[in-house]
């Protein structure tokens, strides 16, 4: 998804219809950006790889299995952290959905959210729809509501928004590496090449930390 498209759009139709890639960036040959101010890791003693995503982004749904495979191959000193992006208020419920799954130790349902939206046509874009879907997955409804509305989940959603701004995320999916670099399929041209670029940047960061 592209940030400018969502800034003032609040309908589910617009959420589903936006593209993620920025072709001009790929054509320019810019494969990643370097942050002027490196960001510290929130995970002690580990290099962070942040996956900026949105459940409503079809490209994120396509890449999710690739991210899962890549995550399994990362060394122990690397923390892979999904970060749900909300380019406007209409996308915030999906942030709460992700962090509610984290709070309830139900991240095994994370890929199923993509399937529900992009393969089953479920519109999980508001609180009620999300709560009903979670209950259908066998999660206790009251426990999910308590997590969804909790201070902790709200704080994590706020932190996700801060990270999106700090890393200058303009589209999803995007990948931040080591608090220094940001790449995306929109910059490299393809899903696979964005992961290769992210791995190369990670190798560079890890080599510098030795």
| b/e code 162-175 from CB counts within 10 Å (16+ = b) | ebbeebebbbbbbb
Task: Report the pLDDT value the prediction gives residue 208, as an integer from 0 to 100.
Answer: 86
Task: Report the pLDDT value the prediction gives residue 102, as an integer from 0 to 100.
Answer: 98
Task: Report the pLDDT value the prediction gives residue 8, as an integer from 0 to 100.
Answer: 37
Task: Report the pLDDT value the prediction gives residue 28, as an integer from 0 to 100.
Answer: 53
Q: What is the CATH number of the domain that holds 49?
A: 3.40.30.10
Q: What is the pLDDT of residues 125-159, one digit of tens each?
A: 999 999 999 999 999 999 999 999 999 999 999 99
Please check whether residue 24 lies inside any domain of the structure.
yes
- For every residue of 25-79, which 3-state class applies, written as one string? HHHCCCCCEECCCCCCCCCCCCEEEEEEECCCCHHHHHHHHHHHHHHHHCCCCEE
Please check whether residue 12 lies inside any domain of the structure.
no
Q: How many domains does the chain have?
A: 1
pTM of the predicted protein model: 0.88
Please check whether residue 184 lies inside any domain of the structure.
yes
Tell me the residue range of the domain where 57 lies.
3-7+19-208
Please check whether residue 102 lies inside any domain of the structure.
yes
Give pLDDT < 70 ranges for the chain. 1-28, 209-210
């Amino acid at each position: 998804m592209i940030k400018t498209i969502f800034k003032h759009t609040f309908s589910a139709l617009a959420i589903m219809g936006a593209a993620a890639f920025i072709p001009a960036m790929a054509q320019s040959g810019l494969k990643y950006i370097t942050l002027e101010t490196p960001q510290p890791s929130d995970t002690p003693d580990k290099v962070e790889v942040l996956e900026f995503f949105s459940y409503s982004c079809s490209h994120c749904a396509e890449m999710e299995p690739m991210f899962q495979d890549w995550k399994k191959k990362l060394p122990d000193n690397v923390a892979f952290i999904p970060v749900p992006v909300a380019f406007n208020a209409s996308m915030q419920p999906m942030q709460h959905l992700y962090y509610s799954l984290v709070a309830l130790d139900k991240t095994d349902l994370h890929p199923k959210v993509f399937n529900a939206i992009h393969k089953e046509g479920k519109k999980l874009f508001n609180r009620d729809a999300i709560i009903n879907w979670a209950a259908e997955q066998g999660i206790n409804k009251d426990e999910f509501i308590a997590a969804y509305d909790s201070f902790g989940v709200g704080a994590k959603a706020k932190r996700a928004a801060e990270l999106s701004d700090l890393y200058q995320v303009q589209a999803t999916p995007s990948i931040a590496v080591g608090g220094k670099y940001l790449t995306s399929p929109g910059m490299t041209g393809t899903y696979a090449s964005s992961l290769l670029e992210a791995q190369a940047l990670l190798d560079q960061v890890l080599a510098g930390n030795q």
